[in-house]
Amino acid sequence: MAEDNLTRQVDEIEALSSIYGNDFHTESVEHRTYSVEISEGDLTALLQVTMPPDYPGEAPPIYMLSAPWLKGFKRQELCGHLEDIYVENAGESIVYEWVERIRQFMTEEGEAAKQETKEEEINGMLEAAVLAEKLEEDIPCPEIFSGDIISDRKSHFQPHLAHVQSVGEVRQVLRKLKENKKIANATHNMYAYRFVPPGSTVVSQDCDDDGEDHAGGRMLHLLQILDAQNVLVVVSRWFGGILLGPDRFKHINNAARQILDHCGHIKQSDEKGKKNKKAR
């Protein structure tokens, strides 16, 4: 039986060496100790086995598993898997099965770690969003000015303006406007804003069509040519059922210009320049 065990060990060692190549090492010929380096993703492990004279016929190999990432209950869990493999394959050569079970365990742990990292990132983003929302709630809503309504073929346009210096203030204004059921039920609430944050020299600007294609962009262009800063303009439109074609943009532009003029965002030189051009 001892000779049979030795023969089977020699066959197993040759097979392991062929399968794992440079990852298989002979640690001690005298003690019949060998090791296999295992890598999977970012994880690595070293399985060292010593084959006693009665392995594999009557006894398991003696093993030592080196894996810095493997601790506590996880180590116990993996060792349990290796013991199960020996019990289920008693009398058989099992080092290959051990190596591949360790590799499978490493794959599972790597995927679990990635999922955990992803969940932590998502939770972090949610927490940041909640914190940002709470901080926004503490931002005072700027005073809102509303202009005269422009009506044409049952459609109505009304402008609103607020002085803003942050995206938080923009959101507060939009939130406050929509507390008004009439404004909240408008067909479109398109807007554009431009502001220079405190301590900065860079203009922050953006717009939203709210379903009225290109309207927000046209409003932003108006703010740009007027060099209006620290201002948010919203134009609410209630659609009356009759298509206005390009006239709708004229009304949106006139409504925005009206409220900008009323709130002092159109310089006299701009108006004079416009009149002079017409006179020519």
pLDDT in tens, 115-151: 887 888 888 787 776 665 665 667 888 999 999 999 9
* pLDDT class of 279 with cuts at 50, 70, 90: very low
pLDDT at 174: 94
pLDDT at 101: 96
- Comparing C-alpha atoms, which of 159, 42, 170, 173 is closest to residue 109? 42
Task: Classify strands 43-50 and 62-66 as parallel, antiparallel or unpaired.
Answer: antiparallel
pTM of the model: 0.52
Domains and CATH numbers, the chain: 2-111 (3.10.110.10), 144-279 (3.30.230.30)
* Cβ within 8 Å of residue 101, ≥6 positions away: 78, 81, 82, 85
**2 has a pLDDT exceeding 80:** no
**268 has a pLDDT exceeding 80:** no
Amino acid type, 87: V
* pLDDT class of 42 with cuts at 50, 70, 90: confident
Judged by DSSP in three states, 252 sits in helix
Residue 42, number of CB atoms within 10 A of its CB: 11
**107 has a pLDDT exceeding 70:** yes
- Comparing C-alpha atoms, which of 16, 10, 45, 11 is closest to residue 29? 10
pLDDT tens digits along 149-199: 999 999 999 999 999 999 999 999 999 999 999 999 999 999 999 999 988
pLDDT tens digits along 225-238: 999 999 999 999 99
How far, in Å, CA of 208 to CA of 225, rounded?
A: 18
pLDDT at 81: 95
How far, in Å, CA of 248 to CA of 218, rounded?
A: 12
| Residue 170 buriedness (CB in 10 A; 0-12 / 13-18 / 19+) | buried
**213 has a pLDDT exceeding 80:** yes
Pair of tokens at residue 230: 């620290």
pLDDT at 189: 97
pLDDT at 127: 73
pLDDT at 265: 85
